[in-house]
Structure 1
Amino acid sequence: MAPRSEYFAIPVKGTKVPTGPDWLHEIKHDGYRIRLVREGKRVRLITKGGHNWTDRFPWIVETAHKLRSEQFILDGEAVVLGVDGNSDFRTLHSRKHDHEVQFYAFDILGADGDDYRRLPLTLRKTNLARLLRNRAEGIHAAPFEQGEIGPDLFRNACIMGLEGMVSKQVDRAYREGRCDHWIKNKNPKHPAYRRVQDQF
């Protein structure tokens, strides 16, 4: 059975960054959480609140149509990058740069009729990388690091002024709803720490 496009895994708030070989760590982009769905010639961008934002972000839609697979569901963040290469929520929220919005995919729930949600995260990452191979613009596989590097990576993310980091257990399936094997640690000096989150 194919995964439903409107259900999201939601990380829990962390008090410290987990360590160990069974965790991977992703920089948290300051953007809109989006489910990217392609079904043949139809592409949809669905927010956590269930809104259809397909018409907002043409670059993402255009790139999705160029991918070789005609059926997939990706989970990720829609972002605008500033001149420093970091995601810029204020610019994104202004709606003045919708044509510049890109998608950083950090998970794949299914493709070509196969449901990947029960696969361990490591295999989902492999399938995601395969789908996005040689696709350099518009849609990107979110980079990650694995293992003991987590706390150092988080400290550096804070120094660079990034929003924070999400740590995930590598051997776990995708679980919709609150997910205690996804842990989000926020940079307390970042504007997103004070901003009302997860409203879309």
Structure 2
Amino acid sequence: VTNEAGLSDFKALRKAITSRQQDLYFVAFDLLHLNGHDLRDIPLEDRREILAEMIPPGGRIQFSQALPGDAKSIFHLIEQAGLEGMVSKRKDSKYRSGNSTAWLKAKCYTIDEYELLGVEREAGKPAFALMAERGTGRYVGSAFITLNREMRERLWQRVQEHAGTAPNGMKRPATQWVKPGLIGRIKHLRGEDDLRHASLPDFTEETG
């Protein structure tokens, strides 16, 4: 799904899957099998050439065009355009399942401030913070707590000393709710109203 500027829009994609399927496009970027033939040992550049010849222009199935050049320069342009990120691949690479050194995903993150609603800590699991939009109190999602040891201990102390109650409609037994006053600086993927791939590297306390 693209926006008015012709750029991919992940937020709009999620809505279109359920309510506006006529707006969906399928963007193909690789071809692994063709007419019973395994193409995974063919270099990526050749696989993509075969794929491009199979896709007519102007349809709902589109070919993902490559952007050759310096990765840092391209990533800068992607950030400026407000896109989520990019994937870099070696042109001569063969396809292999799982992790690979032949391709690299680079994501575009942004940092925003949200109100801390509470924290969830369970034995053997990562701790994460529940965050809300400032001013409205709308729940926007959770973020992994990546504070250093000193700040983490200060956060636990603040939560214990200023225990609060669960917001209306939220039932999470493992959560320690906290009264308003803690503001988290959240690093998260751009492009949506709710948090994705979010972490909490810093927080402050409101004064006054």
Matched, 1:164 2:85: yes
Over 3 Å counting, the alpha-carbon distance change for 1:121 and 1:175 in structure 2 is same
Matched, 1:137 2:63: no
Q: CA deviation at 1:170?
A: 1.0
- Quick check: 2:27–2:62 contact (8 Å CA) kept in 1? yes
Percent identical residues:
33
Corresponding position of 1:191: 190
Matches within 5 A, 1:66-85: 80-85=1-6
Matched, 1:98 2:42: no
Show structure 1 runs of 4+ deviating over 3 A: none
Aligned residue among 106, 109, 116 for 2:39: 116
Gaps of 5+ in 2: 111-188, 199-208
Q: Aligned partners of 1:121, 1:106: CA distance in 2, in Å? A: 10
- Quick check: 1:166–1:184 contact (8 Å CA) kept in 2? yes
Q: Aligned partners of 2:94, 2:59: CA distance in 1, in Å? A: 28
Matched, 1:177 2:98: yes
- Quick check: 2:82–2:191 contact (8 Å CA) kept in 1? no
- Quick check: 1:92–1:98 contact (8 Å CA) kept in 2? no
* 3-state secondary structure, aligned to 2:29: strand
Q: CA deviation at 1:179?
A: 2.0
Number of corresponding residues: 116
* 3-state secondary structure, aligned to 1:174: coil
Q: CA deviation at 1:108?
A: 0.6
Q: Which has the higher contact order (CA 8 A, sep 6+)?
A: 1
Q: Aligned partners of 1:157, 1:196: CA distance in 2, in Å? A: 18
Q: CA deviation at 1:145?
A: 2.1
Describe the superposition over 1:70-114 as per-residue Cα deviations: whole angstroms up to 9, x where unpaired. xxxxxxxxxx11111111222221222122110111101111221
Q: Aligned partners of 1:170, 1:191: CA distance in 2, in Å? A: 28
TM norm structure 2: 0.51
Describe the superposition over 1:131-159 as per-residue Cα deviations: whole angstroms up to 9, x where unpaired. 11x33210111011224x22111100100
Q: CA deviation at 1:192?
A: 5.8
Matches within 5 A, 1:20-35: none
TM norm structure 1: 0.53
**What is the root-mean-square deviation in Å for CA atoms of aligned residues?**
2.0
- Quick check: 1:165–1:184 contact (8 Å CA) kept in 2? yes
* 3-state secondary structure, aligned to 1:184: strand
Corresponding position of 2:51: 128
